Amino acid sequence: MQSSAAFLGHPPSGEARPAALDARLDRVRQLLGVDGAALAFAGSQAMQILWQAGVSGQIAKDLAELHAHAAQGTGPLVIADTGRGAVRFYAGIPVTFGEGEPLLLSLFDARPRSAAMAGQLGILAQEVFGGDSEQRSQAMIVRLESELAEREQAIADLLATRRRQLELFERASKTARIGVWECDLSDNSLTWSNGVYDLFEFPVGSVVTREETLRCYSDASREAMERARAKAIAECSDFSLDAEITTVKGRRRWMRLTGTVETRNGVATRIFGMKQDITEEKLLADRTRYLAEFDVMTGLANRSQFQARLAELDTRPIGALLLADLDNFKQINDTYGHALGDECLKEAAARLRDACPAAELVARIGGDEFAVLLGHETTPGQIEAVAERIVAEIGKPFMRLGQMLTLGASVGVAYPDGSPAPDLFKRADTALYAAKAAGRNTSRTFHAGPQHTVN
């Protein structure tokens, strides 16, 4: 409320000013929920404002026209929606103070009101200022001020509750490592809760662009996320995926990203959702999968993975199956103990990988038993060369725990011919035992036919 009088016409002279009217008018304006109010003489077509709040610029011009219209009548003028200009809602209420000249109270707002709401505001304003009794008006203002104070207290209580709920949400989010995010599609601006800032390790509350966050994604995760996001926007649907990121402080993390597209008139306008740190979950899942598929000691595929791959021969053919047993391993294990025996297994696994780098699968399938699956494009000559290389590599002496050790390897080779996987394994096993029978540290191949041969 301005403390000095403002005029659109000529100011009146010698007018008395009711005490604290500025503050009371402003309080009533707040209670009625309108942008502004003005008190002016009602008897003049030119609007002479005595006291006002929120009157300036285009509003003053629009208000002057509405005042002139209201001044022509004898009762209140309430317009729910003027349909144009800076003033959309208007209420003109005739008022008097004691024996003074009739005045016109103008209430206005940039937002239109419904007809019912406009009528209620007009009635309330008339009840406050209408009639000849200033004493009644004063009493009504006191009541309204009390109601306004109660509403303000209710709002304060609501805000306090909201703050407590937000604090509780932030604590729960931090415990669950979850954050809420939002992207305005008109300019790609981002809004994050503290949990998302913590996930990416940006300073909480800082302005972060979408381009900055995209640089945190791994290449594969960024491509997958952009595809899912574009599809969701095009279809106005949801999306979810797990993505790998590197925080601004250089830490690698995994997060679960969910998003929902919000539309307006069929057009995507906003995406919002959650981002959760699942790094520990991912590491545990990877570890569990590793233990299920790999031999912990040697790092090779385990028997379970080998059998699963062998069962796919019909759809994923191979060139050959090689089985290898370590010679002299039991003697070394019994003589020097399990610790040195484990070192022998690790060395044998490493040499086996080196001997057949192009193999589809190298697995430890038993104590000192290994299997190799070669690709279907491998020629018989290359297969025989791999078997010989395995024997040669594993047979080289090596030093472990102060002991010079020498292992040997017997290798059995079998070629697939459309027979079931168990038959192929039996043929390779037959060839392996033939190699052992031939003096060990050598290889043998099973040749299928009416009269199969092993040589």
The mean pLDDT of 46-63, rounded to a whole number, is 81
Residues present in the chain in total:
455
Is the model more confident about 125 or about 88? 88
Angle at 96 between CA 94 and CA 101, to 5 degrees: 100
Residue 167 has pLDDT above 80, yes or no: no
Q: What is the pLDDT of residue 45?
A: 60
Question: Is the CB of residue 98 less than 8 Å from the CB of residue 53?
Answer: no
Q: What is the pLDDT of residue 138?
A: 54
What pLDDT band is residue 172 in, cutting at 50, 70 and 90?
Answer: low
The one-letter amino acid at 97: F
What pLDDT band is residue 143 in, cutting at 50, 70 and 90?
Answer: low
Q: What is the pLDDT of residue 306?
A: 95
Q: How many H helices and E strands in the chain?
A: 13, 18
Residue 8 has pLDDT above 50, yes or no: no
The mean pLDDT of 42-68, rounded to a whole number, is 80
303-339: burial string, b at 16+ Cβ within 10 Å, e else: eebbeebbeebeeeebbbbbbbbbbbbeebbeebeee
* Cα 320 to Cα 444: distance, rounded to the nearest angstrom: 13
* Cα 245 to Cα 222: distance, rounded to the nearest angstrom: 9
Total Cβ atoms within 10 A of residue 254: 20
Say what the pTM is.
0.51
What pLDDT band is residue 451 in, cutting at 50, 70 and 90?
Answer: low
Residue 103 has pLDDT above 90, yes or no: no
* Beta strands at 103-109 and 89-95: parallel, antiparallel or unpaired: antiparallel
What pLDDT band is residue 160 in, cutting at 50, 70 and 90?
Answer: confident
Is the model more confident about 76 or about 304? 304
**Which region among 188-192, 239-243, 249-253, 292-296 has the lowest average model confidence (pLDDT)?**
292-296
* Cα 355 to Cα 351: distance, rounded to the nearest angstrom: 6
Total Cβ atoms within 10 A of residue 135: 8
Spatial CA neighbour of 275 closest among 262, 259, 251, 253: 259
The mean pLDDT of 412-422, rounded to a whole number, is 92
Q: What is the pLDDT of residue 49?
A: 80
Residue 425 has pLDDT above 60, yes or no: yes
- Show the 3-state SS of 292-315: HHECCCCCCECHHHHHHHHCCCCC
Q: What percent of the chain shows pLDDT beyond 70?
A: 86
Coil, helix or strand at residue 102 = coil
The mean pLDDT of 143-167, rounded to a whole number, is 77
CB-facing half-sphere around the CA of 81: CA atoms within 13 A: 7
Q: What is the pLDDT of residue 3?
A: 32
* Cα 141 to Cα 136: distance, rounded to the nearest angstrom: 9
What pLDDT band is residue 207 in, cutting at 50, 70 and 90?
Answer: very high
Q: What is the pLDDT of residue 155?
A: 85
The mean pLDDT of 94-115, rounded to a whole number, is 79
* Cα 444 to Cα 177: distance, rounded to the nearest angstrom: 58
The overall average pLDDT reported for the chain is: 84
CA dihedral of 213, 217, 222, 224, whole degrees rounded to 10: -120
Residue 325 has pLDDT above 80, yes or no: yes
Range among 28-37, 419-428, 443-452 rated most confident: 419-428
The mean pLDDT of 17-26, rounded to a whole number, is 63
Question: Is the CB of residue 131 less than 8 Å from the CB of residue 139?
Answer: no
* Cα 442 to Cα 455: distance, rounded to the nearest angstrom: 11
The mean pLDDT of 238-258, rounded to a whole number, is 94
Residue 210 has pLDDT above 90, yes or no: yes
Q: What is the pLDDT of residue 5?
A: 34
Question: Is the CB of residue 445 less than 8 Å from the CB of residue 434?
Answer: no
**Which region among 8-12, 38-42, 288-292, 409-413 has the lowest average model confidence (pLDDT)?**
8-12
Residue 14 has pLDDT above 60, yes or no: no
* Cα 410 to Cα 381: distance, rounded to the nearest angstrom: 19
What kind and span of H or E run contains 53? strand 49-53
Q: What share of the chain is helix, strand, coil (3-state, %, to 5)?
A: 45, 25, 30
Residue 328 has pLDDT above 60, yes or no: yes
Question: Is the CB of residue 87 less than 8 Å from the CB of residue 108?
Answer: yes
What kind and span of H or E run contains 280? helix 279-293
Residue 7 has pLDDT above 80, yes or no: no
Q: What is the pLDDT of residue 18?
A: 52
Q: What is the DSSP string of 335-383?
A: HH-HHHHHHHHHHHHHHHHHH-TT-SEEEE-SSSEEEEEEETT--HHHH
The mean pLDDT of 271-284, rounded to a whole number, is 90
Residue 98 has pLDDT above 70, yes or no: no
* Beta strands at 443-447 and 408-414: parallel, antiparallel or unpaired: parallel
The mean pLDDT of 83-89, rounded to a whole number, is 89
Which stretches does DSSP call E strand in 224-334?
238-246, 252-264, 267-277, 318-327
**Which region among 123-137, 156-170, 220-234, 393-407 has the lowest average model confidence (pLDDT)?**
123-137
Q: What is the pLDDT of residue 70?
A: 84
Q: What is the pLDDT of residue 11?
A: 38
**Which region among 26-35, 64-73, 122-131, 218-227 has the lowest average model confidence (pLDDT)?**
122-131
Residue 344 has pLDDT above 50, yes or no: yes
